[in-house]
Amino acid sequence: MKFIFHCMIGLCLFPAWGYAQLSDIYASEPEWYHDYDVKFYKIDIEADNLSTTVRGYVEILAEVQKNGLNEFTLDASDCIQVESIMVNGTQTTFRKENKCLYAKFPLKKGETYQVVVHYTTIPPNSNSFFSGISNQTDNWYPAVTWTLSEPENAVEWFPCKQYLQDKADSAYIFVTVPKHLKAGAPGVLSNIREMPNDKLRYEWKTRYPLAFYLLSFAVSDYQEYLTYSHPKGIDHPVLIQNYIYNSPGYLERNKAVIDTTGRLIEMFSDLYIPYPYAEEKYGHCVAPMGGGMEHQTMTTLSEFSTSLVAHELSHQWFGDLVTCATWQDIWINEGFASYSEYLTLEQLDTKAETLDWLQDAHRMALWERRGSVFVPKKSINDTWRVFSMNLSYKKGAILVHQIRLIINDDRKFFDVLRGFLRKYSFSTATAMDFKRFTEEQTGIDFTQFFNQWYFGEGFPVFDIAAQSANGQLTLWVEHEGSSPATPLFTVDLDLKLLKTNGTDTVVRLPIRTNSDKFVLNIPNVSDFLVDPEYHLLKEVSSADFVKDFPTDDHFVRCNTHLTYRQDLTVNFSEPPARNCRLKLTNAQGDKVFVQVSANRKTSVVIPADSLPNGTYLLYVHNGKAQYVRRIVKKMF
């Protein structure tokens, strides 16, 4: 899913996550979700393009997993009006309570039951992106009714079991509409049946397992536009079935991007595994939803852009084929789909385009100084937090990119993705499942990476100074976390060193503590760039060459990171000379403090509580010796 905003806008911090600890951080699901296993949904409804009203029935086949059950339970919103429920052909009593529907019937473990619920639903037409069913009439395009069940809004248009880890083995979606309309849905259009009252029933059938939220329909005055894809590893063309607005000029304006879908299917089939729903189709239904939703084999989207088409298409692998096991692990869906946007640019466009995408992703992720990619238990009911563009999408994509760089072998990286998709095909997975699988395939321990970047918060904030002298480059790298929850990041940081002869070289620095020093035998360095390829999510407070920076001495010690209302305390290892002079300058070189320490005390306090945030240099002239310290002041 992707929504579009048309506006400007050394230590391991955590222990290795054990199963007991993981169970503590995950939200619990209702106990009845384990009562039975859904095998099949058949949704047979009437709808039109002028309202959100739906009437008809849902049939569910389910195998009971527990003994001693006397009720069959379903999720159902308050807007669903149940007319009757039959279990194995017998009408039964029922009740609705706490957004659940309970059908009274004795159930035996191991047996399969057919449950049929006749209902009418009249949900409010809120036109929110996260509405289970919406209707909108555009001034330019035809009226449309469409569904979007993610994360847990399927119950606005049909009773079901909203449990990610219980995929139905197959599903039918039959939608009866006025004759001048078309209804699109997942699967294969097996029949268009004439119905009474000048109506048609569009009968869609899918034989592939799918999660509850990937069932959908869209109804409008559509025209059909068909193309085909020819991915490797599939011995027949894959149908691409588009239901687009039947408006003058619409196809002509969008045809070029629609036609790239086949090429994208071929590309993702090469990068990942062959398109997993090749026996049915891929397609699009257009609706004014302000983004897109990856309904299995039939994406619903508002517009055709290469980025949006690629994002939703890639969900057929990451999200549909392999689905996040909990909404707290939405990274499995959205992090990888967002990174697929980058891969699309990498495969089809220039390096400048890929860097622009990474730069934009970094810019958005840096807005969240204290957020984790993992959705904490306290936020699980906050839909906008679950689908945070900055965290789940952009930072999630950056994490995938960083994993790729750590593996440092594209063949291995894509083999990991392919193996993961094969292992968890038509099932669900958590981030820890992906971690374990990646470790097994690469031999790399990703524990600290996930502790810092997935469960941890924020990103490192760097202050970097350099001195080039006597054929060597000395670098002082200090950092802290943007969030106090993750104060240390052990990462590799790339610097591009620019030399006086016009050449350059890239070095990778292993950052293992909050204050690291590196001495490199690289002469004639005139300047440096920090992480020019956007490999690492980070913020750089300062990055400068400093003249006369100290080498190895311990005469001057001071607190180099100041917070609000904190003064600067300078300590000497021995009494300084009588003419010892202290000077504090800002980053522009302006003096903000000068003092001569004539009393030879071994400690001097420089008032700094009123100084604005920024980077300062402390110069200490002690006789013929000069010492320089970098001071950073920040307000938290």
- Say what angle helices 351-365 and 331-348 make with each other, to 10 degrees: 150
Which of 56-70, 131-145, 262-276, 404-418 comes out lowest in average pLDDT?
131-145
Per-residue model confidence (pLDDT) at position 561: 82
| CA distance to 91, 254, 332, 349, 586, per residue, from 433 (Å) | 43, 39, 10, 32, 49
- Give the residue, 241 or 584, on which the prediction is more confident: 241
Lookup result for tokens 């008809």: 56
99 sits in the region (left: phi over 0; alpha: psi -120 to 50; else beta) called left
Quick one: average pLDDT of 621-625?
A: 76
Per-residue model confidence (pLDDT) at position 635: 57
Per-residue model confidence (pLDDT) at position 549: 46
- Give the residue, 492 or 563, on which the prediction is more confident: 492
Quick one: average pLDDT of 334-362?
A: 95
Per-residue model confidence (pLDDT) at position 11: 32
Looking at the chain, the whole-number percentage of residues with pLDDT higher than 90 is: 75
Distance in angstroms (rounded) separating the CA atoms of residues 499 and 525: 4
DSSP H/E element including 473: strand 472-481
Quick one: average pLDDT of 91-98?
A: 96
Tokens describing residue 116 = 């049929």
- Residue 55 near residue 45, CB atoms below 8 Å: yes
pLDDT category at 21 given cuts 50, 70, 90 is low
pLDDT category at 22 given cuts 50, 70, 90 is low
Quick one: average pLDDT of 47-67?
A: 97
- Give the residue, 224 or 17, on which the prediction is more confident: 224
Per-residue model confidence (pLDDT) at position 20: 45
Q: Tens of pLDDT along 511-568?
A: 999 989 999 999 999 888 999 999 999 999 878 776 544 444 678 888 888 887 788 9
Per-residue model confidence (pLDDT) at position 553: 63
| Beta-carbon count within 10 A of 399 CB | 22
Per-residue model confidence (pLDDT) at position 318: 98
Per-residue model confidence (pLDDT) at position 17: 46
DSSP letter (8 states) at residue 577: P
Quick one: average pLDDT of 441-468?
A: 95
Tokens describing residue 480 = 């802290």
DSSP letter (8 states) at residue 555: S
Q: Does residue 10 surpass a pLDDT of 60?
A: no
Which of 15-29, 125-139, 355-369 comes out lowest in average pLDDT?
15-29
Quick one: average pLDDT of 113-127?
A: 90
Q: Does residue 126 surpass a pLDDT of 80?
A: no
Per-residue model confidence (pLDDT) at position 531: 94
Q: Does residue 481 surpass a pLDDT of 90?
A: yes
pLDDT category at 630 given cuts 50, 70, 90 is confident
Q: Does residue 19 surpass a pLDDT of 70?
A: no
Distance in angstroms (rounded) separating the CA atoms of residues 322 and 302: 25
Q: Does residue 8 surpass a pLDDT of 90?
A: no
Mean pLDDT of the chain: 92
pTM of the model: 0.86
Q: Does residue 168 surpass a pLDDT of 80?
A: yes
For the chain, list the domains and their CATH numbers.
Answer: 2-11+335-450 (1.10.390), 35-220 (2.60.40.1730), 222-316 (1.10.390.10), 459-545 (2.60.40.1840), 550-636 (2.60.40.1220)
Q: Does residue 16 surpass a pLDDT of 50?
A: no
Per-residue model confidence (pLDDT) at position 546: 67
Q: Does residue 335 surpass a pLDDT of 50?
A: yes
Per-residue model confidence (pLDDT) at position 13: 39
Per-residue model confidence (pLDDT) at position 600: 81
587-619 per-residue burial string, b: 16 or more CB within 10 A, e: under 16:
eeeeeeeeeebeeeeeebebebeebeeebbbbb
- Residue 496 near residue 489, CB atoms below 8 Å: no
Per-residue model confidence (pLDDT) at position 566: 86
Q: Does residue 165 surpass a pLDDT of 80?
A: yes
Per-residue model confidence (pLDDT) at position 611: 85
